[in-house]
Amino acid sequence: MTTSIDVSLGQVVASLALVALAVAISFWRRTDLEGDIAVAAARSFVQLTAIGYAIKLIFEADTFWLVLTLLSVMVLFGAFTARSRANKVPGAFWPLLIGLAIAAASTLGLVVALGIFEPTPRYLVPVGGMVIGNAMTASAVALNRLGDEVADSRAGIEATLALGATAREAVAPFVRRALRSGTIALIDSTKTTGLIFFPGTMVGMLLAGAEPTDAVRLQLILLYALLGSTAIAALVATGLAYRNFFTPAQQLRDLH
Amino acid sequence: MLFELRDVSLSRGDRLVLDSVSAEIHEGATAIVGPSGSGKSTLLRLLNRLADPDAGTISYQGRALVDHDPLKLRREVSLVPQLPSLLEGTVASNLAYAADLAGQRLDASRCLHLAGLDDGFPERDVSKLSVGEQQRVMLARALAQQPRVLLLDEPTSALDHDARDAIEATLAGLRGELELSLIVVSHDPEQARRLADRAVRLKRGRVAAWGPLAEALA
């Protein structure tokens, strides 16, 4: 797997034709998304270019601490971003941060311990980025659902608390549904991978000239790692976040 | 004496829901009466610590409520909310859940009978029951915990006249069959007269009167 591909800046600029097409469709159908599309294209260019140079530096430096710093920053930004999706959950930041950190550490630790990847920046940085990104989405969706479920089911939760159930027991059905919501999207896309869509890593490797069998194997490893990491992140985030809805006396907080 | 309330106040947002409430609630049947918004349901929630007051003290059997384990307290002082809210599943699974929490052996048939339901109910899905039937299952579920005190929040508000009469007859029967104290929230003084021996009358979050029915509802 030592293939490489040269992509010029001109080719990247040419691909903006597709962005222009998206803007045109938005303008034509009055979806009012032209600004968002432009911002998305500009931000992705700046952010990916910056991270590209950062990764280049990290690869060249080849030190563990730089990798750890980069992954920590990703976890931090991931938790901030996910928190905005979980605005009905009080104090969602820490459960998200801890969930993402545990998901990243355990998944990367496991793939290295099992000898799947070498503990070098070339593997840890891209795999860590994918793991954190997917774990962020899963935990954000899970906490968003948890917030909605608790808001809609206050009477039911209090009726269960009134029987002497603990907060954990009273909220268990809603945590279960939230966990399911957070992980089901990746499970479904994993089921249909290869049939309905080609995942990004595999496409990238094929474009870069890798053997299809290598591309498929690497993609499978990543998909399996992502299944584990999203489940861990959503489990930890929901398992910690539900507590913030309750007082120490097992009372449902009034959040109005 | 079951409960003693001393200068109990509670605000929700800017609104003072309970304002220096002081009263005693004795064993037997007590009604908490008053118009809508007078703080009746809020007061009931304080009695099994679904909420705590901002100021003042409540004691249960001579001991401050905050010194009781809230979980044990709620299994002994069981609250049936105004609107039925059962767990997904069957009537039997709901009763078993409540009994398990309280560490009681479940006699589902007896609980259902006490709540005015027959033996055809245990395997029925709770989502297929009428509101009146669900209300009775809520009552049976609370009884499965063998509580000492039953807190009932407007137990007949969602029911028609016939169902209301049936629930009231059931509650009167409970008092005869079990050593159980009832604290019933009602907006209807006539219902209080039918169900209780004593009353606490609230008006705009304050106690207007409390004591035997004749005095409290005069």
Structure tokens at A225: 């790692």
- Nearest Cα residue in chain B from A249: B70
Note the pTM of the prediction, 2 decimals: 0.85
Write the residue in A156, A162, A173 that is nearest to B50 by C-beta.
A162
Helices A121-152 and A64-85, packing angle to 10 deg: 20
**B74: chain A residues, CB-CB within 8 Å:** 161-164
DSSP code for B90: B
Cα–Cα dist B93/B135, whole Å:
16
pLDDT at A256: 57
Q: Which residues of B touch A256 (CB under 8 A)?
A: 12-13
Q: What is the pLDDT of residue B28?
A: 92
Contact in structure between B183 and B150 (CB atoms under 8 Å):
yes
Is the confidence at residue A242, as pLDDT, over 60?
A: yes
Residue A66 tokens read as: 């730089």
In chain B, what residues touch A255 (CB-CB under 8 Å)? none
B141-191 pLDDT, tens digit per residue, is: 999 999 999 999 998 887 778 878 888 888 888 887 888 999 999 999 999
SS3 A125: helix
Least confident of A128-142, A143-157, B169-183: B169-183
Instruction: Determine how many CB atoms are found less than 10 A away from the CB of residue B127.
Output: 10
Determine the 3-state secondary structure of A215 from DSSP: helix
Interface ipTM: 0.91
pLDDT computed for residue B116 by the predictor: 87
Q: Which of A163, A169, A173 sits opposite B78 (nearest CB)?
A: A163
> Is a pLDDT exceeding 90 seen at residue A241?
yes
DSSP summary character for residue B144: T
pLDDT: which is higher, B198 or A193: B198
Q: Are A224 and A110 in contact (CB under 8 A)?
A: no
- Convert the pLDDT of each residue in A169-193 to its tens digit: 999 999 999 999 999 999 998 998 8
A172 Cβ under 8 Å from any chain B Cβ: no
Residue A1 reports pLDDT greater than 50: no
Burial of A90: CB neighbours in 10 Å, binned 0-12, 13-18, 19+? middle
The distance of A237 to chain B (nearest Cα, Å) reads 25
Compute the residue count for chain B.
218
Q: For residues B4 and B59, is the Cβ–Cβ distance under 8 A?
A: yes
Residue A248 in contact with partner chain B when CB distance is under 8 A: no
**What does the DSSP 8-state code read for residue B208?**
E
CA-nearest residue of chain A to B70?
A: A249
What's residue A49's pLDDT? 92
pLDDT digits (tens, 9 = 90+) for A23-79: 999 999 999 999 999 999 999 999 999 988 988 998 898 888 989 999 999 999 999
User: Which of A136-140, A194-198, B78-82: highest mean pLDDT?
Assistant: A136-140
Nearest CA in chain A to B146: A163
| Mean pLDDT value of segment A120-124 | 90
Structure tokens at A162: 């009134």
> With bands split at pLDDT 50, 70 and 90, how would you rate the model's confidence at B214?
confident
Contact residues of B toward A, CB < 8 A: 12-13, 48-52, 66, 70-75, 78-81, 83, 85-88, 97-98, 101-102, 138, 141-142, 145
Q: Do B52 and A249 touch (CB under 8 A)?
A: yes
Average pLDDT, chain B: 92
Of all residues in chain B, what percent carry a pLDDT higher than 90?
A: 73
Q: What percent of chain A has pLDDT over 90?
A: 73
Judged by CB atoms closer than 8 Å, whether chains meet at B85 and A156 is answered as yes
Do residues B135 and B159 lie in contact, with contact meaning Cβ atoms separated by under 8 Å? yes
A227 has a pLDDT exceeding 90: yes
List all residues of chain A from 13 to 52 with a beta carbon under 8 Å from chain B: none
Q: Do A158 and B101 touch (CB under 8 A)?
A: no
* pLDDT value for B67: 95
A247 contacts in B (CB within 8 Å)? 52
CA distance B146 to B154: 21
